């Protein structure tokens, strides 16, 4: 009789153990299913980077994207020229409505060190004095020369800055040249070219006859 009771109790224990194991397995399956569903949803949120680069003009336009790693991607001369031209234009093309936006666009494409150099070069107080006098700035890029390609790009750019009155009358005009050191970085919104200016040095361009007069 005792053996029968012992055997019956053992079977009950085993049945409960099997049920517990089955419940644990079902719980694990449910958790894994939820994890897979959430992971799949996250993966579906990742979108490819549609970016169009015009190989003739060098312009780079991003279409609804977050970022892409551009490491190892070689930039064409046209794309470099377009980036530098756009940067110089943002620095020195301004009026009362665009002075802040253009400056922010330029700074967004520079490192902190280069931004400090640019701030010193621009003489912000003088620029806002121009705005208060209803003057506007214009710039024309004359030439862009690639001096070095490795490890970073080293660019020399010549440009002409002009001031215009509200009536369109030309004011001060000066020629300048700048040396830019540019590092390829991740392409992202606001910087589709994936280029970052890490050094900026600018000087007034002195013609030979002016140097001889001195």
User: Digits of tens for pLDDT over the chain (214 positions)?
Assistant: 555 555 656 667 677 777 778 878 888 888 888 777 877 776 666 555 556 666 666 677 665 443 344 555 677 888 899 999 999 999 999 988 888 889 888 888 899 889 888 888 877 657 878 888 888 999 999 999 999 888 889 999 999 999 888 777 777 888 999 999 999 888 877 778 889 999 999 988 764 444 444 4
Helix residue spans in the chain (DSSP H): 2-45, 77-92, 99-107, 112-122, 124-132, 208-213
CA separation, residue 30 to residues 20, 34, 35, 125 (Å): 15, 6, 9, 64
**First-to-final CA distance of the chain:** 124
Task: Judge if pTM exceeds 0.85.
Answer: no
Which CATH number among 3.30.565.10, 3.40.50.300, 3.10.450.230, 3.30.2000.10 corresponds to the domain 52-213? 3.10.450.230
CB hemisphere CA count around 71 (13 angstroms): 1
């Amino acid at each position: 009789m005792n053996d029968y009771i012992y055997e019956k109790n053992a079977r009950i224990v085993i049945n409960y153990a099997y049920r517990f194991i089955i419940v644990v397995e079902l719980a694990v399956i449910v958790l894994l299913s939820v994890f897979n569903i959430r992971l799949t949803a996250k993966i579906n949120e990742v979108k490819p980077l549609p970016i169009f680069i015009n190989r003739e003009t060098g312009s780079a336009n991003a279409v609804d994207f977050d970022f892409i790693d551009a490491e190892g991607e070689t930039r064409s001369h046209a794309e470099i020229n377009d980036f530098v031209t756009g940067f110089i234009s943002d620095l020195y093309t301004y009026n009362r409505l665009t002075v802040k936006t253009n400056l922010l666009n330029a700074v967004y494409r520079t490192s902190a060190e280069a931004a400090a150099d640019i701030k010193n070069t621009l003489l912000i107080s003088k620029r806002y004095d121009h705005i208060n006098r209803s003057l506007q700035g214009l710039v024309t890029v004359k030439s862009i020369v690639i001096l070095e390609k490795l490890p970073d790009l080293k660019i020399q750019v010549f440009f002409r800055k002009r001031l215009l009155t509200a009536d369109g009358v030309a004011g001060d005009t000066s020629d300048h040249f700048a040396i830019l050191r540019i590092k390829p970085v991740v392409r992202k919104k606001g910087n589709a070219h994936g280029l970052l200016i890490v050094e900026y040095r600018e000087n007034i361009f002195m013609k030979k006859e002016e140097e001889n007069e001195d």
